[in-house]
Structure formats: C-alpha cells, structure tokens
C-alpha cells in the first residue's frame, strides 16, 4: 500500500484518510506501507520544503510510520531510463504540437504528425535533456489510441520541460515526468499490489495501463473513493489556505481553525480517534459530507475518562458574598476526573469570579450554587453583591444553577484559542501543572493547555 501526496502544503484531514486507510490495510494484511512524495512539478504545484518533514511527523503521529519513504524528484533518472525504453519501442514519441493543436487532434481522434515520423526520437529526447528546447516546445507522449472513446486517454503527456528550480533537488533537472508517468513506474518498482486513492485518479489508471501493457507488467488492484467534505471546514484547498495565511487571516498552518493535521494535533486530538473516524467512513465511491461531531464523539470516548477537570471563568465578573466571611475561607475539594484520580483543592473566599453568561441570567433573590462550595442569593446586581445561603446543595434548582467559580487567589489569566472566537478569562491555578495535556474546563469544553507565559494559553479541542 502507499500514500502519495504532493507536499505543496501540510497534511490535512483529506490526507489523513489516505494515510490511515492505506496504512490500516497494510497492517491488517501484514503488508508494507510506503509514503511517496509525488513532487515532480516545481511550478504549478510547487512543493513546500518544510512539508516533507511535516508529512513524516504526521504519519508517525497517526501511528502510520511508513516502511519506506520515496522522493520522486530524487529518482528522476529512473524515469528517464524507462521512457528511453518506450521511445526505443516506439511506444512513446516527442511531440512538437502546441497545446491547442494537440487538443484539436485529440478531440477529433486523429493522430498528430509527429506520432509516427520521429525516427530520431531518442536524439530529440537527448536534446531535450541537453536543454536545446524551450519550455512548451516539445513534450514526450505515450502512444495509446487516438480513437479511444474517452478523449482523456488519448496520447497523454509523460514528460515536459520546466525551467524552474525545485525546492528539493534544485536545478538538477529541467525535464520532469508527469504524475501519471512517475506514479506508474514507481508503483511497479515498489511492488505495490493495491492502490486506494481518490476517484479523480480513475482516468490515471486507464492511462497508466498502457505503460504496464508495453512493459508486460501487472497493474495493481485499485479502489477509488469519493471526496470528503467536512461541514465545519467546507472546501478549503491548500492554495486557499496559503493565501489566507499570507493575508494574516490565520496565524499559521497550525491555526486551530484549520483542517490541517498539525492544527488537530495542537488541539489535542488523539490519533486513535482520527483513525477510527476515517475507518468508519469506509472506502465507498460516493462523495461523503460528514460533520466534525463524529470525530468529537470518537475523541471524547478516549479523553473523557482521563481528562482532568478544572474551572475556567470566561468573561469574568467579580462578585462579593456577604455574611459568613470567615467561614468562606476554607478549602474546597473537587473531583479531578471521572476516573477517580483524586481531588484538587481550591481555597474559598468571599470574593469570587463567575462567568458573565451565568451572572446575567440570575434574577434578584434567586439562589444559585457555587459548585462544591456554597449557595448564594443575588441581592444587588449593579454592585455584584450576593448573600450567603447555606452550605448544602438542597434548595438549589438543579442544572444550570450549579456554576463554576474562582477566587482571586486561584485565578490565572487565561486565553483559549477557539474556533469562532477566542475566550479570555481566568483558569484555575491547578491547571498550570497540566501543560501539554487535554483537560476539560467544566461547563465549557475540552481544551489542550498549551503554554504559560504571561498568561495561560489553551487551545479549544471540542465540547
């Protein structure tokens, strides 16, 4: 099995499907999983140097470490050898038609003048390599059938001239193979038995079969799947993301709002959840339109039992509790997580922060409960004054009237990088020791604590 991306940007959710499904099959049948960079176009789909390593990182993260990594741009001489054989066999030829001319021949199903006249094909090829021709002046075509019922198959291009420095191999070459050619050769050399890829490559198979036939090779078994679109992200292509990043709309390729794997990793998603999510999508040929909620559900199953719970008071409002001031200075114990991992301790106070959302919901005289602490009654909304109303939870309406809270002494300034917006407020000081981990801010969401500088920074994972 193989996954063959062009590293013109980092791996996204779309790449994840290819990585996961292919590697999963390799695991199931004890086969090999190869990561191959199809980076043979230094211009239109220019590879991004950093992205090569990012792909490697992302594969390992997804538990899909490749058995072998191939860089097509470093194996161009291999493709040259093969095309030379085809030229000798007269199964390929140099074509001097312009794109427009050839398009006409193709649509009318007639052979172009260069198809059978080039006795000196190998000489022309050599001159191409020597740089005797300009870009677009000549290409190498594979002979198929100019009467093929699908015009897309008719005598396709295998090599073209591009004078542009390649990010990985520099100026070593200026005659580059197309994807169809490079991929056909590599799949055979690497002994690929099964290919699973997008259905946009169905025609590619029909083209490549000609080469396999000429060389007497056996074509791998193929499966083509439809496009995945994710409700929350819509259609974001690598190039649109790049433009948006350059325009400053996103902070980088790992901006939590992006569907890149780097972003998901930053948000604290578990690779196992992503694997399950894509495996559940299957390999049908229909296009699928799926919601991130499914991924959230998978992820939640893994992290919910183990994520530590903390308070995060967003958009905070300071309130004062009157009466029992001394008694309020006590230690409050709250469960750390559902797995029974013990307790965290918060020191109570008669002055605490609560979220504005909560604060503005209450009516005068209403009793609410500060979770695991005490009950309070709203006395004066303008001044933010409540009165003490008992220790036991009795008498409090269940549900939304049990709220989270934080005293000044426990409050660490915190920003959560969200999806729709960022949230500012105070996080419970105990959360500081969970840097790098995914926690649940109670009544808010799961978040990954990222760093502590002037303030604590967290990244929104999901509800």
Partner RNA sequence: GCUCCGGUGGUGUAGCCCGGCCAAUCAUGAGGGACUCUCGAUUCCUCGACCCGGGUUCAAAUCCCGGCCGGAGCACCA
Residue 222 and residue 195: Cα distance in Å, rounded? 5
Contact 195, 2 (CB under 8 A): yes
Query: Least separation, in Å, of the C-beta of 371 and RNA?
Result: 4
State the DSSP code for 454. Answer: S
Residue 187 and residue 183: Cα distance in Å, rounded? 6
136 vs 342, beta carbon nearer RNA: 136
Residue 416 and residue 461: Cα distance in Å, rounded? 10
**Which residues lie across from 85 on neighbouring strands?**
none
61 vs 312, beta carbon nearer RNA: 312
- What is the SS3 assignment for 58? helix
Structure tokens, 133: 């021709």
Residue 92 and residue 148: Cα distance in Å, rounded? 16
H/E segment holding residue 312: strand 312-314
98 vs 251, beta carbon nearer RNA: 98
Query: Least separation, in Å, of the C-beta of 276 and RNA?
Result: 9
149 vs 454, beta carbon nearer RNA: 149
Query: Least separation, in Å, of the C-beta of 245 and RNA?
Result: 20
Q: Going along 186-302, which residue ranges are E strands?
A: 194-198, 221-225, 228-230, 288-290
Contact 348, 365 (CB under 8 A): no
294 vs 453, beta carbon nearer RNA: 294
Query: Least separation, in Å, of the C-beta of 417 and RNA?
Result: 14
Query: Least separation, in Å, of the C-beta of 61 and RNA?
Result: 21
Query: Least separation, in Å, of the C-beta of 303 and RNA?
Result: 9
Contact 315, 423 (CB under 8 A): yes
Rg over alpha carbons for the chain, rounded to the nearest Å, is 31
Query: Least separation, in Å, of the C-beta of 288 and RNA?
Result: 4
- What is the SS3 assignment for 171? coil
221 vs 380, beta carbon nearer RNA: 221
97 vs 459, beta carbon nearer RNA: 97
Residue 260 and residue 266: Cα distance in Å, rounded? 10
Number of alpha helices (DSSP H) and beta strands (DSSP E) in the chain: 13, 27
294 vs 387, beta carbon nearer RNA: 294
N- to C-terminal Cα separation, the chain? 36
Query: Least separation, in Å, of the C-beta of 354 and RNA?
Result: 12
Contact 196, 178 (CB under 8 A): no
Query: Least separation, in Å, of the C-beta of 322 and RNA?
Result: 21
H/E segment holding residue 239: helix 238-246
289 vs 380, beta carbon nearer RNA: 289
């Amino acid at each position: 099995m193989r996954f063959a991306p062009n590293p013109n940007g980092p791996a996204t959710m779309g790449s994840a499907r290819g990585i996961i499904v292919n590697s999963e099959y390799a695991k199931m049948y004890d086969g090999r999983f190869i990561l191959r960079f199809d980076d043979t176009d230094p211009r239109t789909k220019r590879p991004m140097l950093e992205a090569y390593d990012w792909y490697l990182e992302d594969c390992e993260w997804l538990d899909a470490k490749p058995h072998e990594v191939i860089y097509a741009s470093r194996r161009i001489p291999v493709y040259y050898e093969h095309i030379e054989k085809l030229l000798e066999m007269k199964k390929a030829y140099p074509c001097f038609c312009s794109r427009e001319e050839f398009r006409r021949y193709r649509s009318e199903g007639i052979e172009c003048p260069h198809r059978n006249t080039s006795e000196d094909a190998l000489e022309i090829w050599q001159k191409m390599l020597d740089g005797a021709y300009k870009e677009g002046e000549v290409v190498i075509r594979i002979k198929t059938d100019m009467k093929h019922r699908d015009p897309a198959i008719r005598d396709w291009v295998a090599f073209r001239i591009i004078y542009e420095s390649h990010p990985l191999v520099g100026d070593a070459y200026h005659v580059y193979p197309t994807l169809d050619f490079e991929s056909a050769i590599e799949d055979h050399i690497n002994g690929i038995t099964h290919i699973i890829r997008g259905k946009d490559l169905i025609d590619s198979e029909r083209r490549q079969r000609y080469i396999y036939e000429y060389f007497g090779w056996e074509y791998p078994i193929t499966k083509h799947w439809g496009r995945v679109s994710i409700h929350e992200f819509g259609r974001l292509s690598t190039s649109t993301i790049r433009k948006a990043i350059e325009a400053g709309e996103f902070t980088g390729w790992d901006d939590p709002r992006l569907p890149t794997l780097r972003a998901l990793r930053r948000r604290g998603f578990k690779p196992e959840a992503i694997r399950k999510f894509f495996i559940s999508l299957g390999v049908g040929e229909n296009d699928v339109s799926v919601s991130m909620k499914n991924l959230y559900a998978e992820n939640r199953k893994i992290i919910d039992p183990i994520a530590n719970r903390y308070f995060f008071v967003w958009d905070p409002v300071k309130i004062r509790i009157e009466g029992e001031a001394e008694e309020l200075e006590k230690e409050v114990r709250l469960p750390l997580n559902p797995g029974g991992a013990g307790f965290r301790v918060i020191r109570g106070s008669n002055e605490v922060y609560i979220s504005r959302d909560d604060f503005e919901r209450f009516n005068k005289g209403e009793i609410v409960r500060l979770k695991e602490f005490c009950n309070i009654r709203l006395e004066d909304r303008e001044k933010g004054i409540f009165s003490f109303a008992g220790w036991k939870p009795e008498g409090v309406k269940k549900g939304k009237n049990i709220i989270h809270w934080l005293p000044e002494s426990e409050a660490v300034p915190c920003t959560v990088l969200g999806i729709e917006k960022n949230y500012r407020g105070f996080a419970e000081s105990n959360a500081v020791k969970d840097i790098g981990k995914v926690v649940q801010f109670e009544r808010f969401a799961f978040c990954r604590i990222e760093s502590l500088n002037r303030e604590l920074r967290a990244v929104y994972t999901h509800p």
